[in-house]
Amino acid sequence: MHDYSGVVVLRDVDFSIRPGEVHGLVGQNGSGKSTLIKILTGAVKPTGGTISLDGEKVAFNSPEDSQRLGVGVVHQDDQLFPDLTVAECVFGVNKRPPRRRFTRAIDRRRVDERVASALEALGIEVPPTRLIRLLAPAERKFVEIARATILEPRFLILDEATAAFEPSAARAVLDLLHRLRSRGLGILFVSHRLDEVLRISDRITVLRDGRVAGNLDRDSAGEERLVSMLVGGERDAASLRSVGPLEDNALTLKSARVAPGRPPIDIGIRRGEILGCVGLIGSGAATLVRMIGGAEPLRGSVEIDGRSERIRTPEDASRLGIGFIPEDRKGAGVVGDLSVAANMALAALPQFRGRFGGLNHRKVAAMAESYRDAMDITLPSIYAPVRTLSGGNQQKVMLARWLASGVRILAVEEPTHGVDVKGKLQIHNLLRGLAESGGSVVVASTDAREVLDLCDRIVVFRHAAVTNVIAAQDLAGDDNAERVLESLIGTGTTVKALGA
């Protein structure tokens, strides 16, 4: 049991991890997952209940206690220093690095050799001398796992380890977890990606409202059953939109290039359409969305409603009625210390000016309350700092910001990265609502299922070039649609475009 200032966030939770198994933990944002992880890693001391190891009660009064007793952790966000080498980051957790006999200086050659041996034992092919900033996202996650396992823990906790990965990178991480399990390590796998939880877990625990909503084993689990347990049987499932012929382009790109020397891209985003851009990390899909949103200068020409325009900055995009929601919502999206209401008003400040030039706080509050209700944003007050909200609710705040500004085109990176099942459905419905009102949405997502569920057309990128344009309706009803899309993302073959 645990409470914060009298508010109970975990109640009567019985939970166990066995050696040599993967135990999946799922739950909505605010269900208590983060608090349970903090308890197991010694960051938070429970206000009730006990922790036992090998049948004996133990106390985790600090992260050092947890680590000493055999618990390792890999957090969702990178905890690495970009200008250090792989070996320096992995061995940095070891308090007794090998030293030279006479000078007592750290023996970097022996450090590199030990880390190389540890990486090889894990099946990780990353040079120990490579700088962290030169690694791909999946390789950085491998390094974090290696850092956690070099201390030989008995149990390893992974919090949203694959949240922002495209399919092939996610599979590589899951393959590594299989190898760790075979070595007898007990693994707690926390994820909103239910397909991955089902694929790798031996047992699954579902948390809802701070309680255990159910425990399932591999044979009895299924995605529909998990979703029902997560949302309490109230699944407001999204369905594929029925979209008729859409001829008018709200935005047209001509001879756009997502990387120097790569083929030009000519594509339009239609009014009332949700266009999805997919591809491996670095393929150019996210770059195109960032250029439309002004986060990167647009290389090529662009027409808005038939007029030639320039998009070099976020200010250019905003002036043209284009909003942008970045993947890094904490670092580049919301302003953490500002209130929810202030964050919602940021893109439309002229609308809320008072008589003497300042903000009309009454109008801002009325707007914020209306979006709070319409978007089902869970928060104690519209004046609460936005950093106190869950990831899904922060994403809704950024959506409200642009909707309040009257945006006509919305560019979104990873719309539901790290968002729970119910929040994902709500965000999808909000994006559909914008499209159905005549707006246009372009998204970059590494989640093939999300793109199939959300988008009307899908643009497939590989090596900074468009290889396919697919109409979502051509894949609707195909049980293998997700596999088909992943195969197009993961191969260099150009096939005949559908619905181009």
Instruction: Render pLDDT for 100-158 as a digit per residue (tens, 0 to 9).
Output: 666 666 677 888 888 888 888 777 888 888 999 888 777 888 888 888 888 889 999 99
The rounded distance, in Å, linking the Cα atoms of 84 and 64 is: 23
Residue 383 has pLDDT above 90, yes or no: yes
Q: Per mean pLDDT, which range of 166-170, 253-257, 302-306 is the poorest? A: 166-170
Show me where the domains of the chain are located.
2-231, 236-321+408-500, 336-403
The C-alpha atoms of residue 283 and residue 466 are separated, in whole angstroms, by 9
Lowest mean pLDDT among 83-97, 234-248, 479-493: 234-248
Beta-sheet strand order (sheet of 186-190): 71-74, 155-159, 186-190, 22-27, 203-208, 211-217
Tell me the DSSP string of 351-395.
GGB-TTSSB-HHHHHHHHHHHHHHTT---S-TTSBGGGS-HHHHH
Q: Tell which CATH classification among 2.40.10.120, 3.40.50.300, 1.20.1070.10, 1.10.510.10 matches the domain 2-231.
A: 3.40.50.300
Residue among 134, 473, 95, 66 at smallest CA distance from 273: 473
The pLDDT tens digits of the residues spanning 196-236 come to 899 999 999 999 888 898 899 888 888 878 888 887 654 44
Residue 263 is encoded by which pair of tokens?
């083929």
Distance CA 95, CA 139 (A): 24
Which range has the worst mean pLDDT, 74-83, 324-333, 417-426, 475-484? 475-484
Of 170-174, 200-204, 417-421, the range with the lowest mean pLDDT is 417-421
Task: Quote the Cα angle for 66-68-73, to 5°.
Answer: 50
> Which are the contacts of 355, defined by CB distance < 8 A and separation ≥ 6?
none
- What pLDDT score was predicted for residue 236? 46
Q: Considering the entire predicted model, what is its pTM?
A: 0.68
Q: Which residues contact 104 (CB under 8 A, 6 or more apart)?
A: none
- Kindly report the average pLDDT of the chain as a whole number: 83
- Least reliable range by pLDDT among 197-201, 310-314, 425-429, 432-436: 425-429
More confident residue, 69 or 357: 69
**How much of the chain exceeds pLDDT 90, in percent?**
33
Name the one residue in this structure whose structure tokens are 């999808």: 428
Evaluate whether 291 touches 413 at the Cβ level (below 8 Å).
no
Taking the C-alpha atoms of residue 497 and residue 257, their distance in angstroms, rounded to an integer, is 19
* pLDDT at position 187: 95
193 pLDDT exceeds 90? no
2-231 shares its CATH topology with 236-321+408-500: yes
What pLDDT, on the 0 to 100 scale, is given for residue 343? 93
Distances from the Cα of 256 to the Cα of 267, 288, 295, 333, angstroms: 9, 9, 15, 25
- DSSP tag of 263: P
Q: Give whole-number Cα distances, 410 to 169, 273, 286, 323, 420, in Å.
A: 27, 11, 14, 5, 22
What is the mean pLDDT of the segment spanning 346-352?
A: 86
Give the per-residue pLDDT at 422: 78
Confidence at residue 226, expressed as pLDDT on a 0 to 100 scale: 84
Q: How confident is the model at residue 357 (pLDDT cuts 50, 70, 90)?
A: low
484: part of which helix (H) or strand (E)? helix 481-490
Using DSSP's 3-state secondary structure scheme, residue 45 falls into coil
Which range, 240-249, 304-313, 472-481, has the best average confidence (pLDDT)? 304-313
pLDDT tier at 93, thresholds 50, 70, 90? low
Measured CA to CA, the distance from residue 466 to residue 399 in angstroms comes to 28
Which residues contact residue 414 at a Cβ distance below 8 angstroms, ignoring those fewer than 6 apart? Answer: 164, 327, 444, 445, 446, 447
Q: Is the pLDDT of residue 433 over 50?
A: yes
295: Cα separation from own chain's centroid:
19
Mean pLDDT along residues 333-355? 88
What tokens appear for 75 in the block? 């957090």
Does residue 11 have a pLDDT over 80? yes
pLDDT at 496: 29
pLDDT-above-70 percentage for the chain: 87
What pLDDT, on a 0 to 100 scale, did the predictor assign at position 119? 84
Q: What local confidence, expressed as pLDDT, does residue 31 receive? A: 80
Task: Give the mean model confidence (pLDDT) for residues 418-428.
Answer: 81
In this predicted model, what pLDDT tens digit does every residue of 273-324 receive, in sequence order?
Answer: 999 998 877 788 999 999 999 999 999 999 998 899 999 999 999 999 999 9
If you classify domain 236-321+408-500 with CATH, what class do you get? alpha beta
Q: State which of 223-227, 265-269, 492-496 shows the largest mean pLDDT.
A: 265-269
